[in-house]
Structure 1
Amino acid sequence: MLKRKTRLYSTAFLTLSLALSLTACGGGSEPSSTEAPKDSGNSGNQASSSSSSEKSGEPRLSFRIAFPSGKGSMLYEAADLYKKKVEEKSNGAIEVKIFPDGQLGKDLAVLDALKLGSIEMSVPSSVMATKSPEFGVFDIPFLFEDRTKVAQIAHGEIWEKDLKGLLPQHGLVGLGFWENGFRQITNNKHPINTPADLAGLKIRVPDSKVRVAMFKEIGANPTPMDFSEVFTALQQGVVDGQENPLPTIKGGKLEEVQKYMSITNHTYTPAFLVASKVWFDKLSPEDQKFLTDVANEVGDDIRKLGEEEDTKLLDYFKEKGLEINTANIKSFKEETKPVVKLLEDKIDPAFIEKVVKAAE
């Protein structure tokens, strides 16, 4: 009799529990209006669903951008703008961490790390010519008259097809055509008015065979060196001078160890936002497109900012005590014409002609 009552109580309890459970779920087949959409596919460091990210308050995707120059340089300004735009447009779902001043390694070391997937993004400039000679085409002296001509390359086939197409073999993906800027010469000896004034001067240049050849052609003693070493080299007299865009000079605080600045505009160097192919291929197509679209937007913004900064920085450097002069550009153009011939030994002449025409 006791066993029978126990069975009846158990049955009643289970029936009540089931009824309560059904009542709680009743009418609940539709999701709540606040439920976040599910994450679409494998997205690298992304969490398995964006809803879990929202609950934890953490981004579903986080990555780093490493580059050699410091705050104030166009590389820094572009990376910082990219960070702000990506985080704002993604409503905080994507986090960007920037590492300037060569914190994560020198130019080539960072590109090698990207190939392995141990760093996600970088903003290389002239050093790209060491990976693919075709990037050295921007070392053609006086290729661009102004940034309007640069934009024609940035939004055209040369970047979108030709140069981007060279990157996967090096474990890289091209996202944005950014800016380093028009390059000027600084030194500690005397003003540079004509190529003859460079005779014998030790001038730091990036690791670019064409840039080395160019400065040899105009009589200088070019010394390839990573940008992270330039300040100390100038300070200790290892080199007499260097050549870089104005924002890069300010970013590296080179005005503290230089006396003369000569405006030559001898070369315009772009910078490139590149990503690790190993890492980028794991992102969803939606994230890939989003990151690329924002990179293109930043490219346009940073070229406009670069033009504004060039004007402001001349006043800044004057206040800091640099003696500034405008060089005889015509004399430099004449002396640097043979550099194009040197390029033809490394780059298809047809490609050089294509770039020159696109820059006109």
Structure 2
Amino acid sequence: MTISTKVIISTIIATPILFFIGCGSEKKEEKIIKENPIQLGEYILKFSHVVSPDTPKGKAAEFFEKRVEELTKGRIDVQVYPSSQLYKDNAVLKALKLDSVQMAAPSFSKFGKIVPQLALFDLPFLFKDINHLHRVQDGEVGQKLKDMVNEKGYIALDFWDNNFKQLSSSKRALIVPEDVAGQKFRIMSSKVLEEQFKVLDANPQVMPFSEVYSALQQGVIDGQENTISNIYTKKFHEVQRYLTITNHGYLGYLVVISEKFWNTLPKELQNAILQAMKESTIKEREYAEELNIKQYNLIKEYAKTSGKLEIINLTKEQKDFWRKTVSKIYPDFYDKSLIGEDLIKGVLATE
């Protein structure tokens, strides 16, 4: 609901109350207030995110807005600001601390300096599939990570999906780990990703996301890892010869709310937000999976019609061999200041 629409509705609802108050005694006024305790827009919740409204995150944010306002009968006015209208992800965590904005959904990498343990999701081939990943996020390991974020002065609500990452290359088909050796791969700034490629005898290159397409096109780097949505929207598949569906790592978001704002809310409104977030997370995961399938099919169609791209789907046995090779780096991150043995083994123990 737009802000202007909310104002109109609030005015329509409020008009009869003002009319009767103006015509009655003080006792009538007290009676009306008791019978109409709901204050529309009593709390303003600004939800800032960096993607467009038609993305999974964008659509889930709008669903959240609708459900919160329904569950609180308008007492919380949720205002969604997409496409970095208020803040970019690298600035939003500070804004949350100041309560300049009340909610955001930054990618895990933006928490790197305050909760490095979220690099757990970067570990290659740690998760069996998307259902296993969600069981981890919704279970004990996910709660431990949220608690770590809470200790830094935020309220962590839930995990939202981008999706799993895939590998691409311009040099050779990536079927076995040895195929990666000697190639230059773009990575985000991440110790885990650096070690992931080093154990495969490849050369990781930290590079801004905005520079990846031209670097692939010009041969500055040989390959990259990204989700299907990132590969498709940035056309990486058009400047790569091979795409291997590995599902080896995961990109996602953590929805957080301002601790200062949260503490101003009565318990019933906090519960309403938690309920709306639970429903929104289910929706966001559905949106993300639908988009992943749709865009993968579009990449497959490009591969078929252009003849310029080969897509490789690994067998279970091949994935197991990759996992065995790269899992050698897991103990390097057992230190609690990095990720923590309990978190890594907690994932492996999750059925």
Report the Cα distance in structure 1 between the residues aligned to 2:219 and 2:85, rounded to whole angstroms.
22
The reply to whether residue 355 of structure 1 matches residue 314 of structure 2 is no
Q: Please tell me whether residue 155 in structure 1 is matched to residue 138 in structure 2.
A: yes
Structure 1 residues 108 and 33: CA distance shift in structure 2, 3 A? closer
Post-superposition shift, 1:318?
A: 1.9
Pairing partner for 2:324 from 311, 334, 339: 334
1:31 aligns with 2:22: no
Match of 1:56 in 2: none
1:260-289 Cα shifts (integer Å, max 9, x gaps): 321011123442111232333333433332
Deviation at 1:30, TM superposition (A): 6.3
CA contact (8 A) 1:115 1:170 kept: no
* Structure 2 CA distance for partners of 1:316 and 1:36, relative to 1, 3 Å: farther
1:64 aligns with one of 24, 41, 47: 47
Cα distance in structure 2, aligned partners of 1:111 and 1:269: 18
The CA deviation at 1:311 is 3.2
Query: AA paired with 1:154?
Result: Q
Which has the larger Rg?
1
Distance 2:26 2:97 in 1: 53
SS of 1:28's equivalent?
helix
Distance 1:229 1:101 in 2: 20
| Residue pairs, 1:1-360, within 5 angstroms | 24-25=24-25, 28=28, 31-32=31-32, 36-39=36-39, 50=40, 53=41, 60-67=43-50, 74-87=56-69, 89-90=71-72, 93-100=76-83, 104-105=87-88, 107-127=89-109, 128-160=111-143, 162-227=144-209, 230-231=212-213, 233-234=215-216, 238-255=220-237, 257-321=239-303, 322-327=309-314, 328-345=318-335, 346-358=338-350, 360=351
In 2 relative to 1, CA 145–60 (structure 1 residues): closer, same or farther, beyond 3 Å? same
- After TM superposition, give the deviation of residue 337 of structure 1 in Å: 1.7
- For 2:334, give the aligned amino acid: E
Does the CA-based 8 Å contact 1:182-1:266 persist in structure 2? yes
C-alpha deviation, 1:235, in angstroms: 5.4
Kept after mapping to 1: 8 A contact 2:200/2:326 = yes
TM-score computed with the length of structure 2 as normaliser: 0.75
State which drifts further: 226-235 or 125-134: 226-235
Per the TM alignment, residue 344 of structure 1 is displaced from its structure 2 partner at its CA by 1.1
Contact preservation (8 Å) 2:48, 2:104:
yes
1:213–1:75 Cα change, 3 Å = farther
Are residues 28 and 150 of structure 1, via their aligned partners in 2, closer, same or farther at CA, if it must alter by over 3 Å?
same
User: For the Cα contact (< 8 Å) 2:184–2:222, is it kept in 1?
Assistant: yes
Go from structure 1 to structure 2 and tell me whether the alpha carbon gap of 1:326 and 1:97 turns closer, same or farther (over 3 Å shift): same
Letter in 2 for 1:115: K
Unaligned runs of 5+ in 2: 1-22, 304-308
CA–CA distance in structure 2, aligned partners of residues 101 and 220 of structure 1: 35
Q: What letter corresponds to residue 298 of structure 1 in structure 2? A: S
1:71–1:24 Cα change, 3 Å: closer
**Cα shift readout 1:81-127 (whole Å, capped 9, x = no counterpart):** 4344445555665223233379732x443333333333333223331
1:324-349 residue CA offsets vs partner (Å, 9 max, x unmatched)? 21244233223202121111133332
Give the share of equivalent positions with the same residue, in percent.
32
Asked whether the 8 Å contact 1:201–1:240 carries over to 2, the reply is yes
| Structure 1 range deviating more: 88-97 or 27-36 | 27-36
Deviation at 1:184, TM superposition (A): 0.8
Letter in 2 for 1:179: D
Judge which range, 136-145 or 76-85, deviates more.
76-85
Deviation at 1:353, TM superposition (A): 1.8
Contact 2:61 2:80 in 1 (8 A): no
Q: CA deviation digits over 1:241-277, x for unaligned, max 9?
A: 3222223333445445545321011123442111232
Q: How far apart are the structure 2 equivalents of 1:240 and 1:91?
A: 54
The aligned amino acid for 1:351 is: L
Change (3 A) 1:275 1:30: closer
Query: Which 4+ stretches in 1 moved above 6 angstroms?
Result: none
- Deviations for 1:44-97, whole angstroms, at most 9, x for unmatched residues? xxxxxx2xx5xxxxx852403224x55665444543443444455556652232
Q: Which amino acid aligns with 1:267?
A: G
